[in-house]
Amino acid sequence: MKQTQLGTSSLKVNRLGLGCMGMSEFYGESDDQQSIATLHSAIDLGVNFFDTADMYGSGHNEELIGKAFAGKWNQVVLATKFGFIRDAKGGFAGLDCSPAHIKAACEASLKRLNTEVIDLYYAHRVDPNVPIEETVGAMKSLVDAGKVRYIGLSEASSADLHKASREATITALQTEYSMWSRDVEADILATCRELDIGFVAYSPLGRGFLTGAITSRDSLEDGDFRLHGPRFQEDTLEKNKAFLQLIERIGKDKGITSAQVALAWVLNQGEDIFPIPGTRKVSRLQENLAALDVKFSNAELADIRANLPTAEGGRY
CA distance 208 to 218: 14
One-letter amino acid of 203: S
Which residues lie across from 153 on neighbouring strands? 123, 173
CB under 8 Å to 177, separation ≥6 — which residues?
184, 199, 201, 202, 203, 204, 266, 269, 273, 275
CA distance 310 to 28: 28
H and E: helices and strands count for the chain: 11, 12
What is the torsion angle, in degrees rounded to the nearest 10, for the CA atoms of residue 39, residue 275, residue 91 and residue 30? -30
Angle value at C-alpha 242, between 241 and 243, nearest 5 degrees: 85
Which residues lie across from 146 on neighbouring strands? none
What is the torsion angle, in degrees rounded to the nearest 10, for the CA atoms of residue 91, residue 142, residue 76 and residue 71? -90
260: buried, middle or exposed (CB in 10 Å: 19+, 13-18, 0-12)? buried
Most distant pair of Cα atoms in the chain: their distance: 54
Catalytic residues: 56
